[in-house]
């Protein structure tokens, strides 16, 4: 659990929110307290998804199913509001770990404890199936361990055995679930039945006693093949459980035992010793953690200071005023510290707080340049709150003016003057409501935005209403958009979401990469196509970058870095880096290096001419969403979303040594990250629409 962030609500319905339990793909789960004092787990849909009718329908189904099976073997439903502007579901808070967390913490269960678990899960499935429900996603992460036994949670993809929507509903659901614990008939897209849940029970028992799934957990295709064609790997499963696990994992659904038969076959009294001592300790620890939030022992002692600007609100966060340093003395090379000579002390994480006591600055000052050899005692953050909400999908500093910052969201574009903390022009709506990537011309006189609906638009920064009316390229969905008269039938047709965008160094051309595996080089004045490149295999294209001093574009293409002549579009060279560049790609200001990162969970610096590796930066443990470097290329910043908590973390790196020199824990972000042209500011856009700007005092 963690404390509430500034973007989190303080109440949902009549329930007070105390902490964040975790995040999922659809929303966030809070620790709440009802007016009666009862603790609740409250799941709220993400605001950006709450407008999606498909998501609302799915969540409504989850609520209906949870209410149907509510009881001793699940988390009882206390209250729900499926029709609210932000739909939510409140269940009783279960003070226990998931089976996944318990195995990760304590190791596999002993045979006797696993038999008790099997009995509890069989009873739970009997209750679920008795209510006419098929869960479809039984897995260790969806099983909570309580003093009374296991409880099955998360009915997000469950369905009624006899759904009133008929076969259309079943077909629409497809092969939803988790492959490593999914029955063969379900993983191949067939209908899931009660027998599919029994198969998952067998896979869960294998995991509980060995720490691994019976057919592995690598690629979905490999697991599906093994599950359909090969016998399960039960070598480490205790002998007492092998017959039961084998029966549950039978490839023929009709030959798997029903929950009632499983219960009748278990040894008498097998559940009396539940819970084992080590799991009981985890349950008690989680209960104490929740109690700490209830009593306020871990509540942040902060207060909010909001600054008003012309048409905007600026919330400044001065970490040094509260005695907190984001990068402490001794963490940077040559700055001393307590470590012995030759050792590199581990950076201390600093939470980016929504409210901090102390004096407040009106705007981020232009202070010292981020540099690995600087002595740094504090880091100051200023949080800009835009007029419009919604995720910041991309941002870029002006390449010549470090006070100017541009950003786009799913529904708007903005233009900030950081010297005053105000927007230079009001937030302007985008032509499409799904802007994804942003590019700024070197002179700052032109902008380009790529969308999720296959279109590239051109705009003018600082213009009244920020004219985004000129298309450079369009796709199949652009006809449904509010397209201008200038749209030409001759524009290149994009096939998928725009993933990368960059202006050439002279601003005359634009490169656009998109997910279907193609890249277009376009004339920036009229959008005419100069060249197009396609992958040889059905792989995605990714980000794009422009060389600052040469006529070269770099595009992540076919899992390689492809260099294109920015004037002619001709291919110059290809590199095959160690790291994935699916998350972000950029040149250093001098053009000597390329920095790339993505699903490989680390960032890499390569020589821009030869492709040879210069440095790697490892530490996030999750896919890296964004990278940025100081103008002199000595410091690199990376950002990654940390699951399951869902917040993001920014790490600072010394390129020369490849060592981490600072860590900032902050609110969730998609990876919109950039250093200012003078290297004195680092900006990060967040999913709640806010923008953090950090600077080092001069």
Q: Any idea how long the chain is?
A: 698
Q: In angstroms, rounded to a whole number, what is the distance separating the alpha carbons of residues 81 and 44?
A: 10
CA of 318: how far to CAs of 8, 19, 66, 437, in Å? 20, 23, 44, 30
CB 289 within 8 A of CB 266: no
Note the Cα 271 to chain centre separation in Å.
Answer: 39
Tell me how far apart the 2 most distant CA atoms of the chain are, in Å. 80
496 has catalytic annotation? no
Beta-bridge partners for 412: 429
> Peptide bond before 179: cis, by omega within 30 degrees of 0?
no
Q: Is 164 exposed, middle or buried (0-12, 13-18, 19+ CB in 10 A)?
A: exposed
Q: In angstroms, rounded to a whole number, what is the distance separating the alpha carbons of residues 653 and 344?
A: 13
The radius of gyration of the chain from alpha carbons, rounded to an integer in Å, stands at: 27
Task: Look at the block and give the residue holding tokens 């990469």.
Answer: 513
CB 377 within 8 A of CB 384: no
CA of 294: how far to CAs of 31, 32, 288, 291, 446, in Å? 9, 9, 10, 5, 52
Q: In angstroms, rounded to a whole number, what is the distance separating the alpha carbons of residues 48 and 30?
A: 18
Q: Which helix (H) or strand (E) holds 263?
A: helix 259-265
Catalytic residue among 113, 137, 146, 354: 137
43 among the known binding-site residues?
yes
Q: Which helix (H) or strand (E) holds 438?
A: strand 435-440
CB 692 within 8 A of CB 679: no
Q: In angstroms, rounded to a whole number, what is the distance separating the alpha carbons of residues 669 and 664?
A: 13
DSSP at 642: -
> Peptide bond before 689: cis, by omega within 30 degrees of 0?
no
Beta-bridge partners for 320: none
CB 94 within 8 A of CB 150: no
Give 685's contacts (C-beta < 8 A, 6+ positions apart). Answer: 391, 392, 393, 394, 395, 407, 669, 670, 672, 673, 691
The annotation places the binding site for ATP at 43
Q: Binding site membership: which residues?
A: 43
Catalytic residue set: 137
């Amino acid at each position: 659990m963690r404390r509430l962030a500034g973007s989190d609500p303080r109440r949902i319905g009549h329930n007070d929110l105390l902490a964040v339990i975790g995040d999922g793909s659809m929303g966030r789960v809070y620790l709440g307290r009802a007016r009666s004092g009862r603790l609740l787990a409250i799941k709220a849909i993400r605001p950006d998804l709450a407008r999606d009718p498909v998501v609302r329908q799915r969540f409504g189904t989850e609520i209906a199913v949870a209410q149907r099976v509510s009881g001793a073997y699940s988390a009882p439903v206390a209250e729900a509001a499926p029709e609210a502007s932000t739909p939510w579901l409140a269940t009783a808070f279960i003070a226990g770990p998931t089976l996944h967390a318990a195995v990760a913490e304590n190791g596999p269960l002993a045979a006797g404890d696993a038999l008790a678990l099997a009995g509890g899960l069989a009873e739970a499935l009997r209750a679920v199936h008795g209510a006419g429900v098929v869960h479809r996603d039984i897995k260790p992460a969806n099983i909570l361990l309580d003093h009374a036994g296991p409880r099955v949670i998360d009915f997000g993809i469950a369905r009624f055995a006899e759904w009133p929507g008929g076969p259309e509903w079943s077909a629409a659901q497809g092969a939803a679930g988790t492959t490593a614990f999914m029955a063969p008939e379900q993983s191949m897209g067939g209908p899931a039945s009660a027998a599919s849940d029994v198969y998952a029970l067998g896979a869960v028992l294998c995991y509980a006693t060995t720490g691994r799934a019976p057919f592995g957990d690598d690629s979905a295709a490999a697991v599906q093949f093994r599950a359909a064609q090969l016998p399960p790997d039960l070598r480490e499963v205790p002998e007492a459980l092998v017959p039961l696990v084998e029966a549950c994992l039978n490839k023929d659904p009709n030959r798997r035992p029903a929950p009632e038969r499983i219960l009748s076959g278990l040894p008498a009294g097998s559940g009396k010793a539940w819970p084992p001592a080590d799991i009981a300790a985890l349950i008690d620890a989680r209960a104490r953690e929740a109690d700490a939030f209830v009593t306020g022992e871990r509540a942040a002692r902060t207060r909010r200071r909001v600054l008003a600007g012309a048409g905007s609100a600026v919330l400044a966060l001065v970490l040094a005023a509260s005695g907190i340093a984001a990068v402490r003395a001794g963490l940077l090379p040559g700055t001393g510290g307590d470590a012995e000579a030759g050792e590199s002390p581990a950076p201390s994480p600093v939470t980016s707080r929504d409210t901090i006591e102390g004096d407040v600055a009106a705007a981020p000052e232009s202070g010292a340049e981020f540099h690995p050899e600087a002595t740094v005692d504090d880091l100051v953050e200023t949080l800009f709150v835009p007029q419009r909400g919604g995720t910041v999908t991309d941002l870029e500093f002006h390449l010549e003016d470090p006070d100017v910052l541009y950003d786009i969201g799913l529904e708007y574009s903005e233009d900030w003057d950081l010297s005053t903390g105000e927007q230079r022009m009001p937030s302007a709506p985008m032509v499409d409501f799904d802007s994804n990537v942003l590019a700024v011309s070197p002179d700052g006189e032109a902008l380009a935005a790529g969308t999720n609906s296959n279109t590239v638009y051109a705009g003018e920064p600082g213009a009244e209403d920020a004219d985004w009316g000129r298309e450079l390229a369009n796709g199949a969905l652009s006809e449904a958009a509010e397209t201008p008269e200038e749209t030409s039938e001759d524009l290149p047709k994009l096939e998928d979401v725009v993933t990368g965008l960059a202006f050439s160094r002279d601003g005359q051309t634009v490169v656009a990469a998109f997910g279907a595996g193609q890249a277009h080089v376009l004339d920036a004045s009229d959008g005419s196509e100069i060249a197009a490149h396609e992958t040889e295999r059905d792989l995605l294209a990714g980000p794009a970058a422009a060389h600052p001093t040469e006529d070269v574009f770099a595009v992540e293409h076919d899992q390689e870095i492809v260099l294109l002549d920015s004037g002619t579009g001709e291919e110059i060279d290809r590199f095959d880096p160690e790291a994935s560049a699916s998350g972000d790609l950029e040149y250093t200001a001098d053009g000597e290096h390329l920095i790339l990162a993505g699903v490989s969970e680390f960032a890499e610096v390569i020589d821009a001419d030869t492709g040879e590796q210069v440095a790697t930066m490892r530490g996030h443990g999750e896919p890296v969403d964004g990278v940025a470097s100081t103008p002199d290329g000595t410091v690199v910043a990376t950002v990654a979303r940390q699951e399951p908590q869902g917040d993001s973390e920014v790490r600072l790196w010394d390129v020369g040594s490849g060592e981490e020199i600072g860590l900032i824990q902050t609110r969730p972000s998609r990876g919109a990250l950039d250093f200012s042209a003078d290297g004195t500011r680092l900006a990060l856009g967040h999913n709640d629409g806010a923008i953090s700007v950090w600077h080092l005092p001069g």
